[in-house]
């Protein structure tokens, strides 16, 4: 599959995040942390965070 994500399942996850207007996609999947994937996610205002980073943010609220 062409594009920033190569795993078909990753595309389904990303599409769900975009369609659902998610602010954050929380994952340990390395495919989402590649530069091209991060740039693609930024275009749709979806922040990709590891669970530990999201927990840090939530703990500050």
Question: And the tokens for 38?
Answer: 């991060």
What SS3 state is found at 49? strand
pLDDT in tens, 21-35: 999 999 999 999 999
Three-class DSSP category at 28:
coil
Integer Cα distance of 47 and 55 in angstroms: 14
Domain range list for the chain: 8-59
31's tokens: 């495919």
Q: What is the dihedral of CA 10, 16, 2, 36, to 10 degrees?
A: -80
Share of the chain above pLDDT 90, in %: 85
Give pTM, 2 decimals: 0.84
């Amino acid at each position: 599959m062409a594009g920033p994500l190569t795993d078909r399942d990753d595309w389904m996850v990303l599409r769900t995040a975009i369609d659902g207007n998610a602010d954050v996609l929380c994952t340990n999947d390395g495919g989402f942390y590649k530069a091209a994937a991060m740039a693609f996610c930024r275009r749709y205002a979806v922040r990709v965070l590891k669970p530990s980073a999201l927990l840090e943010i939530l703990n500050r609220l």
